[in-house]
Structure 1
């Protein structure tokens, strides 16, 4: 059977393409897809090994079997990698979930618009987390950030975060918007708005949302400096969003 594997971030740059066509036998597993990619692209072996396969926009363990009509993607550690250029936007289309609470796109973000989504008459507390591009990290000066995403899966994972928050803090409402493409110094890259009846849940849910976003949402960030660029991430150990 023939399988198309979608590639992102540092893996796409190292291999030189954003998708790869593979001819595989029936009953091929996700782990065997990675093995075949390593065989064909040994220079990218380290990056491929650290990535996780997603099947139909869900993270999949290595023993998962593939079907010929599956949508398969190779997901590097989220917010990390080792260099690529972002896909440029042909227009500023905003991709959104059906409930409108979760969006991703190339247009600038409005903190007020995202926050308005969670304000309700019965909630006495609301909190907006705003992520912006920082210029200086120690002695390193950043010129801008570039964001890339596996858009449909990113939206799905954002919804998952909202569902997890609702389970942990019942009645809490969450909205997340993330920007793609080039984001300049002091410009907004992500807005997470949370509201709840009481402030304690708001604080806890907001922190949970941003940390969880870094763990499971397939969005990649590249820091661009005057003398080069590099993918940066918060992952410091084995990365496994299936946990």
Structure 2
């Protein structure tokens, strides 16, 4: 069976392509997310560790190991992200799409914040992520962001839905840059409004932590003497885990 696999970030660099046409070498075994990773690790031993740490996405959803794969499925291998729901069933109207954006254009804090202001809300909070010049003694020249765009947008909408469910009445808008982002430029803006400030603070923190957990966006730090893809830094990475733990004090 031949399948097309989308690859991203350091995994695409390691294998040497962002779109892999792969002939599954074990016709006697069912093709599942787990068996695909095992076969890819055998085929590309130099990338085996990164493949092992990655998740398979099938039709823009993170897949359990026993998820079957067919030649007609949209398949991607998702390495740990920097920074669930049936995305195809989410409303795709213009207003919702405008709340969650991935773009190569500069971001406006004022425009994104204005999307969530509501007459019955007494609190609005905007988180702005910018490119830091120095990290652990290394000087960053600029960042390069890459995304699995359709799935990333679906996951941003999922975060908005989770926030609405957890803090009813709260409104959230998220915009994220891809491509070249210079020092001190804005890479992500998360705007949240709510009837009261406590829920607004909590929802804003939840949004950025959840984004880092489940949204397939990667960044490459470009230094004066090299570069490196940066992955998820919040411990064991499992984007299928619900986000309830993110606001825990433990």
* Alignment TM-score, normalising by the size of structure 1: 0.90
1:133 aligns to what? 131
SS of structure 1 residue aligned to 2:56: strand
1:105 aligns to what? 103
2:7 aligns to what? 7
2:118 aligns to what? 120
SS of structure 1 residue aligned to 2:126: strand
Measure how far apart 1:138 and its partner are: 3.5
Matched ranges for 1:45-194 at <5 A: 45-79=48-82, 98=94, 99=96, 100-194=98-192
Unaligned runs of 5+ in 2: 84-91, 242-250
Deviations 1:1-40 (A, max 9, x none): 3210100000100110011112334841011111121111
Residues 1:32 and 2:24 aligned together? no
Counterpart contact for 1:146–1:181, Cα < 8 Å: yes
Structure 1 residues 50 and 194, CA gap change in structure 2 (3 angstroms)? same
More helix by share: 2
Measure how far apart 1:236 and its partner are: 4.7
2:193 aligns to what? 195
Coordinate RMSD, CA, aligned = 1.5
Cα distance in 1, alignment partners of residues 63 and 15 from structure 2: 22
Unaligned runs of 5+ in 1: 81-95
Cα distance in 2, alignment partners of residues 236 and 127 from structure 1: 23
Q: How many residues align?
A: 228
Cα distance in 2, alignment partners of residues 216 and 139 from structure 1: 29
Of 217, 220, 229, which residue of structure 1 is paired with 2:218? 220
Cα distance in 2, alignment partners of residues 47 and 183 from structure 1: 25
